[in-house]
């Protein structure tokens, strides 16, 4: 008989007492495990062992493993897609500055988590529902880049090609796990902007960008 763990645990022990962790603690453990070893290892018992918590404590926060994985995907979508779309819509006086806003994603893990991206894309190779979500994310990101170029006067067809060039280049970096330290990447920024947009960034635009990443 299945035990309803939410009811079987004494009401005298408050949810925030710490002995069963928290939703964020379980989610962080799931995230770290996904990054380190892939989706097949994100399972309740190993997570409980890692956290030194009881398996039943998991059910105070998640109905089952599927709910945990769904929450993990929501976190990925909100962070990587949400922040990238926001950066394409950020204020910019030129297309070069707009691209530099997008480049913030590639240099700040707070905006875009490349390891998380790689792990979810690997997960998608064995789960059709996850692959569908990745496809939707790709579409949303590409559309946000297209619209950014269109706002700065590019014809839709050219905006589409430039958007794909930028996005597929970055996904290539992630898929190949390309190692590039920050100083090297910063040295290449101006040339990337000029290649992607046909317009070189001004010294002022670069100075503002570099000040965010030094």
With 60 as the cut, is the pLDDT of residue 8 above it? no
Q: What is the pLDDT of residue 38?
A: 97
With 80 as the cut, is the pLDDT of residue 7 above it? no
Cα torsion for 53, 58, 60, 61, to the nearest 10°? 120
Largest distance between two CA atoms of the chain: 69
Q: What is the pLDDT of residue 213?
A: 92
CA distance 50 to 71: 19
CA distance 70 to 120: 12
Q: What is the pLDDT of residue 197?
A: 97
Q: How many residues belong to the chain?
A: 214
With 50 as the cut, is the pLDDT of residue 1 above it? no
Q: What is the pLDDT of residue 214?
A: 81
CA distance 123 to 189: 31
With 80 as the cut, is the pLDDT of residue 20 above it? no
Q: Residue 26: how many CB atoms within 10 A of its CB?
A: 23
Question: What SS3 state is found at 139?
Answer: helix
Cα torsion for 115, 175, 127, 49, to the nearest 10°? -30
Kindly report the pTM of this predicted structure.
Answer: 0.88
Q: What φ, ψ does residue 143 adopt, rounded to 5°?
A: -65, -40
With 70 as the cut, is the pLDDT of residue 10 above it? no
| Whether 95 contacts 159, CB under 8 Å | no
H-state helical runs in 59-201: 65-76, 82-88, 95-107, 114-124, 128-151, 156-175, 182-197
**For the segment 23-68, what is each residue's pLDDT rounded down to a tens digit?**
999 999 999 999 999 999 999 999 999 999 999 999 999 999 999 9
**For the segment 86-124, what is each residue's pLDDT rounded down to a tens digit?**
999 999 999 999 999 999 999 999 999 999 999 999 999
Q: What is the pLDDT of residue 111?
A: 98
Identify the CA nearest to 57 among candidates 88, 86, 82, 23.
Answer: 23
């Amino acid at each position: 008989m299945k035990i309803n763990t939410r009811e079987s645990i004494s009401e005298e022990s408050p949810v925030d007492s710490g002995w069963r962790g928290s939703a964020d603690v379980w989610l962080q453990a799931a995230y770290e495990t996904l990054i380190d070893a892939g989706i097949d290892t994100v399972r309740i018992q190993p997570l409980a062992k890692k956290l030194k918590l009881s398996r039943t404590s998991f059910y105070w926060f998640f109905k089952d493993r599927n709910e945990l994985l769904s929450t993990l995907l929501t976190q990925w979508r909100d962070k990587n897609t949400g922040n990238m779309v926001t950066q394409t819509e950020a204020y910019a006086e030129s297309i070069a500055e707009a691209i530099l806003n997008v480049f913030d994603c590639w240099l700040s893990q707070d905006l875009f988590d490349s390891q998380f991206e790689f792990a979810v894309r690997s997960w998608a190779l064995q789960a059709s529902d996850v692959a569908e979500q990745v496809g939707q994310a790709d579409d949303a990101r590409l559309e946000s880049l297209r619209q950014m170029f269109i706002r700065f006067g590019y014809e839709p067809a050219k905006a589409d090609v430039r958007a794909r060039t930028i996005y597929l280049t970055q996904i290539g970096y992630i898929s190949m796990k390309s190692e590039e330290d920050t100083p090297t990447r910063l040295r290449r920024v101006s040339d990337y902007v000029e290649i992607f947009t046909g317009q070189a960034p001004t010294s002022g635009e670069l100075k503002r960008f570099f000040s965010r990443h030094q």
